[in-house]
Structure 1
């Protein structure tokens, strides 16, 4: 399965209430590699309003994802990930600091998006930083 096919198979279609299926998808994302595991993280963190997940189950899903592979990006994006699960928000400054760290890991688009949506961004500074980093990554390829 290609990255694009994988994206369309889980986008707005993540099986939050089917443990064996979300575990399979997490493993599949690791096999696909690149940014695919962080696409799954994005789905895990940004649960649609139509879905209700108990916090303990949400943490179980996140912890399974985190323990399934190893990447320095995991630790960098973790505060943003946990802010979703704990139904909180980062400050804009916290999000900006995380984005600066992520900028050193080209093509981590999904991790960057998790951070982008983890704060209020009242002054659009986080969105500007997001666009700046994406532009930098694209110009480097």
Structure 2
């Protein structure tokens, strides 16, 4: 399975209540590589309002994901990830700082999205930074 197929297989279909299945998906994302593990992180963090999951189970899922592989991007994006899971927002400035750090890791699109949606961004400065980072990565700069 390639990245695009993987994306469509889990987008809005993540099995939050089937532990063996979400663990399988985490492992599969690591095999696929690229941004796939962070696509899974995005699904873990941005759980739909229609889904209900105990906080402890949500944290267990995140911890399993985090402990399953190692990447410097994990540590960078962690404050944004935890802000979602704990239902708290980062400040726009905190999100901008995280995006600055992530900009050093080209094609970390899903991690960047987790940060984008972790703050209020009332003035759309975080969205501007998101768009700028994507442009930078696509230009190869």
Query: TM-score with structure 1 length normalisation?
Result: 0.99
Quote the residue 2:69 is aligned against.
69
Quote the residue 1:131 is aligned against.
131
Q: How many residues align?
A: 141
Q: Residue by residue, what CA displacement relative to the aligned partner does 1:80-125 show, whole Å, maximum 9, x if unpaired? A: 0000110100000000000000000000000000000000001100
Quote the residue 1:25 is aligned against.
25
Counterpart secondary structure, 1:78: helix
CA distance in 2: counterparts of 1:80 and 1:69, whole angstroms = 18
Unaligned runs of 5+ residues in structure 2 are none
Quote the residue 2:55 is aligned against.
55
Counterpart secondary structure, 1:60: helix
CA distance in 2: counterparts of 1:3 and 1:131, whole angstroms = 22
Alignment of 1:1-141 (within 5 A): 1-140=1-140
CA distance in 2: counterparts of 1:121 and 1:85, whole angstroms = 18
When the two chains are superposed, the root-mean-square deviation of aligned CA atoms in Å is: 0.7
CA distance in 2: counterparts of 1:71 and 1:32, whole angstroms = 15
CA distance in 1: counterparts of 2:132 and 2:18, whole angstroms = 37
Shift of 1:64: 0.1
CA distance in 1: counterparts of 2:19 and 2:42, whole angstroms = 17
Query: TM-score with structure 2 length normalisation?
Result: 0.99
Deviant stretches of 4+, over 4 Å:
none
CA distance in 2: counterparts of 1:130 and 1:90, whole angstroms = 15
Shift of 1:32: 0.2
